[in-house]
Amino acid sequence: MANPQPDEFTKVANELMDQVPFFKFNGSQLRIILVIWRNTYGWTRKDHDFSLTFLHGQTGLSESAVKKEVTTLIAAKVLLVTKEATKKTSRRLAFNKDYDAWNIPKCGENMEPEQPTQLSFEGYDCDPLEGNVEVHDCDPPEGYDCDPQVATLRGTIVPPEKESLLKKVFKENVDPFTLFYETYPRRISKAAALKAWKKLQKEPGFDPIKIILHTKNFAETCKLLKTNTGYIPHPSTYLNQKRFLDYDRVDPEGLLNKPAAPAARLSKFDVEKERLHMMYEEAQREEDGSASAHGYHPDQLPAFRD
């Protein structure tokens, strides 16, 4: 059985994060763990006050889902309540450093999950039905944390890749922005891209792993459609306009299977004129950090489709 480690913040934080991937936490629980880890050991403190509203804003989960999963983590002895909530302060939480005491199944263990006493779909991960039943990817209502079970060409990236990214970011201490920039199909204007990334970091519900996964889908879409590099937006524009939200799958609009429109015959002069105008517009956005889309102009290409 593991012995509780001494209160050496860096050692404890790293050892706990090393252990997290070996336990069968669901997606909602992992989000909560990462936020609590960031706001305790990330700020060199053993515990901190966490309200449902704060965790809701930082994870993007509904408050009822946050309440359910936090209660589960406390009951499983992953989290400890160091101070109960009062009328003026929120409940104070800390990690249980004795991870052998965590009552969560480990990867590879054949343990039956406990059935909830009351049927509630809020915050549950989606699992396929047992038996000889055809399994499909599930499209749950908004607010569910569902991972598809089968990888397809036009499906969301499978969970193992998400787990791999989590390990890279938190175990190998790789900067999420670096992973994003290396994934993006047009690596240009890195400083402007970093500025746009930091701007996104300040927004509630910022999820770097989701952005990276969606960017992988975007890069694969560009590859499949053989998009000319000059028509791929700068990474800062991609982030400012939040275009990653449209790429929860590869080729979300199914353009690969659509017949190509006949190309318009343009003179070399017209082609060069359009290209220079587009580059000018791109440079203007980079300079002022604007995320506004292209306006209509008869001498320019249509805006990149969101």
Q: Does 275 fall in a domain?
A: no
> Can you tell me the distance from the alpha carbon of 78 to that of 55, in angstroms, rounded to the nearest whole number?
16
pLDDT of 266 reads 65
> Which pair of tokens denotes residue 17?
């994060």
Identify which of 70, 90, 89 has the alpha carbon closest to the alpha carbon of residue 80: 70
- Co-location of 167 and 253 in the same domain: yes
CA 60 from chain centre, in angstroms, equals 10
Is 2 among the domain residues?
no
SS3 category, 252 = coil
pLDDT, position 300: 52
Q: What is the pLDDT of residue 92?
A: 92
Write down the pLDDT at residue 273.
Answer: 74
Q: Which helix (H) or strand (E) holds 93?
A: strand 92-95
Residues 163 and 253 in one domain: yes
Asked, for residue 24, whether it belongs to a domain, the answer is yes
- Would you mind telling me the total number of residues written for the chain in this entry? 306
Q: What is the CATH number of the domain that holds 43?
A: 1.10.10.10
225 occurs within a structural domain: yes
267 lies in a domain?
no
Residue that finishes a domain, picked among 70, 101, 132: 101
Tell me which of 61, 76, 101 is where a domain ends: 101
| Domain count for the chain | 2
Q: Any long-range contacts for 4-10 (C-beta under 8 Å, 24+ apart)?
A: 4/97, 4/98, 5/97, 7/46, 9/41, 9/44, 9/45, 9/46
Domain edge (last residue) among 101, 127, 146? 101
What pLDDT, on a 0 to 100 scale, did the predictor assign at position 171? 58
Phi (first) and psi of residue 277, to 5 degrees: -65, -40
pLDDT at 206: 86
Let me know if residue 274 belongs to a domain. Answer: no
> Does residue 85 sit in the same domain as residue 169?
no
Report yes or no on 74 lying in a domain.
yes
Domain containing 205 equals 159-258
pLDDT at 115: 53
Using CA atoms of 184, 185, 188, 191 in order, give the dihedral in degrees to the nearest 10. 0
Which pLDDT score is estimated for 144? 46
In a domain, 143, yes or no: no
**Residue 157 pLDDT:** 46
Residue ranges of the chain with per-residue pLDDT less than 70: 1-9, 108-173, 258-268, 285-306
